[in-house]
């Protein structure tokens, strides 16, 4: 955990916790087929919780709002947040399981396929947000995603906007959205697949990402950031369009959680007052380190580790 004096920005994150059950193998099995895996691991996960861990290790003071069950996976969640210094606003439900995720990781490429069952967090609603309105009002940045029910995410964005708090919306997994949610977003951070799902624009390069971003700007988003994996991330607004290259920090072990690392790092950097492009570079460096490690939340680097990468010469764009 970062030193208290480094925690100079508060980030409130609304999302889910799940326990990741990660299986590594050479390929996915076919329906009806059983294959041998090379490794198994269990650890903390869930987009919101992963982003909270990334932001906390990146120096932010983090408040995380979710729901968990009164079970063994819930205990892992609480231990994770305590270890990271995260302030948890977690409602505990009796008789409802904490969420879990099945993660397949390709041994050769490190790429993944994921099934998420939200469990207790899947029952979240607008009342969970209303209960933490004071936390949101005291924050510099509010972050949410779409693994918990949409009404809770929407209410979070509305409350943050009411209090003048910067909003970061990570629309993952991609769902059909009413257009009136987009004006609530100072920043929206889809990956290529999510941006295509939201706009109908297929993305094969940075220019495609710009066209998709233009659709989201027209819907009322303040600034669009399309994350492009190995291609880095594109920031696109009414006044600028900047491609920030990815940081390649070693052999790719596992890509699960990289997008969460980017969003959590970006939010932490914004919360301490960095300009958006600098915050994007911070998020890209954090994600670049995370993919060299196994796990989602456990793969998130410390502030010192990210700063060491940022002190090196900036990478050249690899995605035109």
| CB neighbours of residue 151 within 10 Å | 14
pLDDT at 312: 84
Beta strands in the chain (DSSP E): 10-14, 18-25, 39-45, 61-69, 87-93, 98-106, 112-119, 141-144, 166-169, 187-188, 223-227, 233-236, 241-244
Query: Cα dist. 110→19, 199, 291 in Å?
Result: 19, 28, 8
CA dihedral angle for residue 136, residue 55, residue 116, residue 177, rounded to 10 degrees? 50
CATH of 12-310, one of 3.90.226.10, 3.40.1190.20, 1.10.3720.10, 3.90.1150.10: 3.40.1190.20
For residue 314, what are its two tokens?
């900036």
Is 180 known to be catalytic?
no
Consecutive 10-residue runs of the chain (320 residues): their mean pLDDT? 50 95 91 92 92 97 97 95 97 94 87 88 96 96 96 98 97 93 98 95 94 97 94 93 90 87 97 96 95 90 95 65
Q: Is 178 exposed, middle or buried (0-12, 13-18, 19+ CB in 10 A)?
A: exposed
Query: What is the tally of helices (H) and strands (E) in the chain?
Result: 10, 13
Q: Which residues are annotated as a binding site?
A: 18-20, 46-50, 147, 191, 227-232, 256, 259-260, 290, 293, 295, 299
Which of these is catalytic: 71, 135, 186, 260? 260
Q: Give the 3-state secondary structure of residue 116.
A: strand
| CB neighbours of residue 309 within 10 Å | 19
Q: Which residues are annotated as a binding site for K(+)?
A: 256, 290, 293, 295, 299
Q: Which residues are annotated as a binding site for substrate?
A: 18-20, 46-50, 147, 260
Phi and psi for 20 in degrees, rounded to 5?
-80, 130
pLDDT at 107: 86
Query: Cα dist. 82→75, 171, 191, 234 in Å?
Result: 11, 27, 30, 34
Query: Are the beta carbons of 204 and 168 closer than 8 angstroms?
Result: no
Query: Are the beta carbons of 61 and 71 closer than 8 angstroms?
Result: no
Instruction: Provide the whole-model pTM.
Output: 0.90
pLDDT at 116: 85
pLDDT at 256: 80
Sheet holding 39-45: strands in order across? Answer: 39-45, 18-25, 98-106, 112-119
């Amino acid at each position: 955990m970062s030193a208290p004096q480094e925690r100079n920005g508060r980030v409130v994150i609304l999302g889910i916790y799940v326990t990741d059950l990660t299986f590594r193998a050479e390929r996915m099995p076919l329906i009806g087929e059983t294959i041998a895996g090379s490794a198994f691991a269990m650890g903390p996960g869930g987009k919101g919780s992963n982003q909270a861990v990334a932001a906390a290790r990146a120096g932010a003071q983090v408040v995380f709002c979710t729901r968990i069950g009164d079970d063994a996976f819930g205990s892992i969640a609480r231990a994770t947040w305590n270890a990271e210094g995260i302030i948890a606003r977690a409602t505990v439900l009796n008789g409802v399981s904490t969420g879990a995720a099945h993660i397949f990781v390709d041994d050769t490429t490190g790429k993944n396929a994921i099934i998420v069952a939200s469990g207790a967090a899947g029952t979240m609603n607008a009342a969970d947000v209303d209960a933490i309105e004071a936390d949101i009002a005291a924050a510099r940045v509010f972050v949410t995603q779409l693994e918990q029910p949409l009404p809770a995410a929407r209410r979070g964005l509305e409350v943050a906007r009411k209090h003048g708090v910067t909003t970061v919306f990570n629309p993952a997994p991609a769902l059909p959205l009413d257009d009136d949610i987009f004006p609530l977003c100072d920043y929206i951070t889809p990956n290529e697949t999510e941006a295509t799902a939201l706009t109908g624009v297929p993305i094969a390069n940075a220019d495609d990402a710009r066209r998709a971003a233009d659709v989201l700007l027209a819907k009322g988003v303040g600034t669009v950031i399309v994350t492009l994996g190995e291609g880095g991330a594109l920031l696109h607004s009414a006044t600028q369009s900047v491609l920030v290259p990815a940081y390649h920090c070693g052999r790719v072990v596992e890509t699960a959680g990289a997008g969460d690392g980017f969003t959590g790092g970006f939010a932490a950097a914004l919360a301490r007052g960095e300009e958006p492009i600098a915050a994007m570079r911070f998020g890209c460096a954090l994600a670049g380190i995370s993919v060299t490690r196994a796990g989602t939340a456990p793969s998130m680097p410390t502030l010192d580790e990210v700063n060491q990468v940022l002190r090196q010469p900036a990478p050249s764009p690899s995605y035109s």
